[in-house]
Structure 1
Amino acid sequence: MNWDQQLLLFLVSLVANAFSALAGGGAGLIQLPALIFLGLPFSVALATHKVASVALGAGATLRHWRERTLDYRFSLFILASGLPGVVLGASIILAVPDRSAEIALGLLTVSLGLYSYLQPDLGTTERLQHRNPRGYLIGAAVLMVIGVLNGSLTSGTGLFVTLWLVYWFGLDYKRAVAHTLILVGLFWNASGAMTLGILGEIRWDWLPALLLGSLLGGYIGAHYAIVKGNRLIKRTFEIVTLLVGVKLILG
């Protein structure tokens, strides 16, 4: 790639990941189509995007770590629930084109944004709930399904995790986004990237600009999420979910 293309990749990655870090997901809405537009086949673009998205988690971790917003036992629960699904989803996506699933996921993603919008107080304050065996079992089952989607589809699944943590477990948006960015962005995406790297192909020469943009964008977005609080995160979440959903529906 020439320097102009590297600069374009950096700027696209910076903007996409800043919004993703603020909303709790959705970086692929901008970043993945940009990679395809610049000439990568879908499978190569997906694997390359997954690797770059790990830097989003790293950048967000650098900022959120100072705030001590993570519940470590709960974090282990999220990892254990979602990682098997991520590996499974990444293992099947290269062999199974599934346009109908993308449309269904897009409709569901739009509904998430609309639901959050119609619930003005959702996620604005923390009300911990379902911290019992039945609640954890249902929570783990849904997280594993989201993990499959995370490994197999391109964007929006971090938004699912964010809203699920808010709706089912009662986290506020700030804490939910922190858990999503660190656990999904760093660990789930790393697992998906490794699986896709083994089974597919990664364009390593495209990664320096993508990684730098993801790292800085993740840090910037996480910073504004911490400084501005739940109301801004909630509104950004709703906007990004609608955009991601429409993108998945239209293809």
Structure 2
Amino acid sequence: MLDPMILLALAGVGLLAGFVDAIAGGGGMIALPALLSAGLPPVAALATNKLQSMFGTGMAAYTYWRGGFVSIKALLPAMALTYAGSLLGALAVKQIDTSLLDIAVPVALIGIALYFLFAPNLSDADKLARLSFPRWVPLLGFTIGFYDGIFGPGTGSFFTIGFVMLFGLGMTRASGNTKILNLVSNLAALTIFIPAGDVVWPAGLAMAAGQLIGGYVGARTGIRFGARIIRPLVVLVSIALALRLLFWT
């Protein structure tokens, strides 16, 4: 049984993680170490992190949708394939050698940071899409969902850059669409973690309370300030995740 003060501290961490995640992704970088520090075993920490982040991601997704930045109808095929990809990744993780990802993912995250840092004309205005949204977004969802199932860090950054580079979405719309697919991917993981009994519910629900607040405030902040805050936060989160994967894992 976790001490009430630890649960209160986890709720505060959930609020901060939800705020950052709603704008730029990477909330797990804040939440997961906190759960490990609270004494949860690694698998339980991973499962509980998925549960608590689902609340913040869900609130952020709902807020972006209410703001008119997401079309659920257009995303339905991608949502289905994201779920399938994440589920297959989680089921296949023990059969796949993921050691190459230890270097490849940080390099990709640094590349994302450099793109968002130096690319001209990154704004909230939609640009010309390089690929057809209905045809190719489901493939994006399946691929990144599968990655999330087997590894996970940087999933939000990968979705965001895909929506910006390949489908021409403005930064705020890209963040909103990212939150929807991130939520679906988390749900897929939980269909495995919950029946297995891996989730520590008191810790997860305490953090979920903070996530609901952080997710809402973060999404409202992203909507209000758009690319002015989303762009630098994506850069900071991507670099921080890359450094953490290279030197603290």
| TM-score under structure 2 length normalisation | 0.90
How far is 1:207 from its partner? Answer: 1.6
Aligned to 1:214: 211
How far is 1:198 from its partner? Answer: 2.9
- The answer to whether the aligner puts 1:116 opposite 2:136 as a matched pair is no
1:184 equivalent among 182, 185, 189: 182
How far is 1:146 from its partner? Answer: 0.8
How far is 1:79 from its partner? Answer: 0.9
1:131 and 1:149 map into 2 onto residues whose CA distance is: 21
8 Å CA contact 1:32–1:154 kept in 2: the answer is no
| Equivalent AA in structure 1 for residue 28 of structure 2 | G
Question: Which digits, 9 at most, give the CA deviation of each residue in 1:5-47, with x for residues without a partner?
Answer: 0111111111111011111x11111111111122112111111
- The answer to whether the aligner puts 1:76 opposite 2:73 as a matched pair is no
How far is 1:80 from its partner? Answer: 2.9
2:18 and 2:82 map into 1 onto residues whose CA distance is: 21
Aligned to 2:34: 34
Higher mean C-alpha displacement, 115-124 vs 10-19: 115-124
8 Å CA contact 2:22–2:60 kept in 1: the answer is yes
Query: Could you say what the CA RMSD is over the residues aligned between the two structures, in angstroms?
Result: 2.1
Higher mean C-alpha displacement, 135-144 vs 8-17: 135-144
2:220 and 2:19 map into 1 onto residues whose CA distance is: 9
Instruction: Provide closer, same or farther for how the CA distance between residues 57 and 83 of structure 1 changes in structure 2, counting only shifts above 3 A.
Output: same
8 Å CA contact 1:127–1:170 kept in 2: the answer is yes
Instruction: Give me the identity figure in percent.
Output: 30
| Equivalent AA in structure 2 for residue 104 of structure 1 | A
8 Å CA contact 1:165–1:176 kept in 2: the answer is yes
Aligned to 2:141: 143
- The answer to whether the aligner puts 1:125 opposite 2:137 as a matched pair is no
Instruction: Provide closer, same or farther for how the CA distance between residues 181 and 14 of structure 1 changes in structure 2, counting only shifts above 3 A.
Output: same
| TM-score under structure 1 length normalisation | 0.90
2:194 equivalent among 193, 197, 203: 197
Instruction: Provide closer, same or farther for how the CA distance between residues 97 and 10 of structure 1 changes in structure 2, counting only shifts above 3 A.
Output: farther
- The answer to whether the aligner puts 1:13 opposite 2:14 as a matched pair is yes
Aligned to 1:49: 49
Instruction: Provide closer, same or farther for how the CA distance between residues 196 and 152 of structure 1 changes in structure 2, counting only shifts above 3 A.
Output: farther
The secondary structure found in structure 2 opposite 1:198 is coil
2:230 and 2:160 map into 1 onto residues whose CA distance is: 11
Aligned to 2:244: 247
8 Å CA contact 2:7–2:202 kept in 1: the answer is no
Aligned to 2:151: 153
Aligned to 1:63: 63
**Poorly superposed stretches of 4+, deviation over 4 Å:** 94-97, 135-139
| Equivalent AA in structure 2 for residue 117 of structure 1 | L
1:181 and 1:224 map into 2 onto residues whose CA distance is: 14
8 Å CA contact 1:123–1:166 kept in 2: the answer is no
1:154 and 1:22 map into 2 onto residues whose CA distance is: 18
Aligned to 1:90: 90
| Equivalent AA in structure 2 for residue 14 of structure 1 | L
Question: Which digits, 9 at most, give the CA deviation of each residue in 1:95-141, with x for residues without a partner?
Answer: 76744423321221121111111203234421141454xx7555443
How far is 1:94 from its partner? Answer: 6.0
1:200 and 1:109 map into 2 onto residues whose CA distance is: 32
2:81 and 2:42 map into 1 onto residues whose CA distance is: 28
Alignment: residue pair count: 247
How far is 1:239 from its partner? Answer: 1.0
8 Å CA contact 2:131–2:166 kept in 1: the answer is no
How far is 1:168 from its partner? Answer: 0.2
8 Å CA contact 2:130–2:165 kept in 1: the answer is no
8 Å CA contact 2:98–2:151 kept in 1: the answer is no
1:104 and 1:111 map into 2 onto residues whose CA distance is: 11
Question: Which digits, 9 at most, give the CA deviation of each residue in 1:139-172, with x for residues without a partner?
Answer: 4434322111212224320111011001100001
